[in-house]
Amino acid sequence: MLYIISILAGVLGALLSWAAAAMIAASTSSDNVAAFIVIGPLAAIAGFVTAVAFTVAIKGEVRTVHGIAMRSLGVVLMTGALATGSYGLRTAVLSHMGMMAKAPAVEFEIRLPKTTSAADLKREAQVELLTDQNQTLASIDNSLLAMADGRAVLRGSVPLRFRTAERMVVLSLPGEAQRAFRLRLPANPSPSDEFGPWHMVDRVSPVSGKESSRGVPDDTFAIRYRVL
C-alpha cells in the first residue's frame, strides 16, 4: 500500500512541479515552448523524487536517510516497470488491432495541370487517404509550389494510422472528376529522406460517381511522396 500511495504522490508532485517550473520559466523567458519542453520535465523528475521520498518518510515510518533512499529507489523502479509494461501492452493491443503504435505520416506533392485555378484550389481542394481500415482527410498547405513549366503542385501530409498496404490518395477538385493514386508502400513503411518518383493516376471517377476506365495513362496529374 505504501508503494501505491508513494507513486500517486510522486505523480502529483511531478505534475505540480512541471506546471510551476514552466510558468516561472515562461514568465522570465520569451521562448515558452522551450520552457515547457525542457525545463518542465526536469522539474517534474525532481518533483516526483521529492514527493516519493517525503511520502516514504511520513507513511513508511522510516527515519534514516539510507532507509528513505532505498524505499524511494524501490518506488521509482516499480514506477518504471509499470510504465514499461503499460507501454508494451499498449503496443501489443494496437498491433493486434492492425494499428501502429507510432503512426508515421506521408508527405505528398500532387502535380496539377496548368488550367487549374489557384483560387479554387485553395478554397475547395480536398485530399483524402482511403484504406481498407479507415479514411482520413489530409492537411493541405496553403502555398502552392510552382514548377518550371508553370504547373502548380499541391502539397500536404496525412497520417498512416493502420498497418495495411491498401492505401489510396484521392484528390477532389471543384468541377473535376476524383482522381485516385495508389500509394506503393509496404504495410509498415520506414521513413524516407527523399521523395519517390512521380506516379500517374491509377483511377478516375467521374463527378456522377461512376468509375471510369482504369489503367488509362493520364499525365496531367501525378503524385510523389515520402514517409516522415
pTM of the model as a whole: 0.55
Are 75 and 10 contacting, i.e. CB atoms less than 8 angstroms apart?
yes
The pLDDT, as a whole number, for residue 213 is 46
Q: What is the per-residue pLDDT for 60?
A: 64
Q: Where are the alpha helices (DSSP H) in the chain?
A: 2-28, 32-34, 40-59, 65-96, 118-124
Confidence of residue 181 (pLDDT cuts 50, 70, 90): very high
Cell of 20: 510551476
Task: Give the chain's domains with CATH numbers.
Answer: 2-96 (no CATH), 105-227 (2.60.40)
Q: How far apart are the first and last CA of the chain?
A: 45
The DSSP letter of residue 18 is H
Give me 63's grid cell: 527515519
Alpha-helical segments (H) within 60-194: 65-96, 118-124
**Burial class for 44, CB neighbours closer than 10 Å (0-12, 13-18, 19+):** buried
Mean pLDDT of 10-21: 76
What is the model's pLDDT at position 214? 47
More confident residue, 96 or 53: 53
pLDDT of residue 93: 54
Residue whose C-alpha cell reads 500509394 in the numeric block: 183
Q: Which residues of 139-166 are buried (b: 16+ CB within 10 A; e: fewer)?
A: ebeeebeeeeeebbbbbbbbebbbbbee
The owner of cell 496548368 is: 114
Statement: residue 91 has pLDDT above 60: no
How many angstroms from the chain centroid is the CA of residue 105? 7
SS3 223: strand
113 contact partners, CB below 8 Å, separation of at least 6: 151, 220, 221
Element spanning 199, H or E = strand 199-200
Chain-centroid distance, C-alpha 74: 34
pLDDT of residue 14: 75
pLDDT category at 30 given cuts 50, 70, 90 is low
Please name which of 54, 57, 61, 72 lies closest in space to residue 16, comparing C-alpha atoms: 54
Q: How buried is 29 (Cβ within 10 angstroms: 0-12 exposed, 13-18 middle, 19+ buried)?
A: exposed
Query: Are 54 and 9 in contact, with CB atoms under 8 Å apart?
Result: yes
Give the residue with greater pLDDT, 90 vs 194: 194
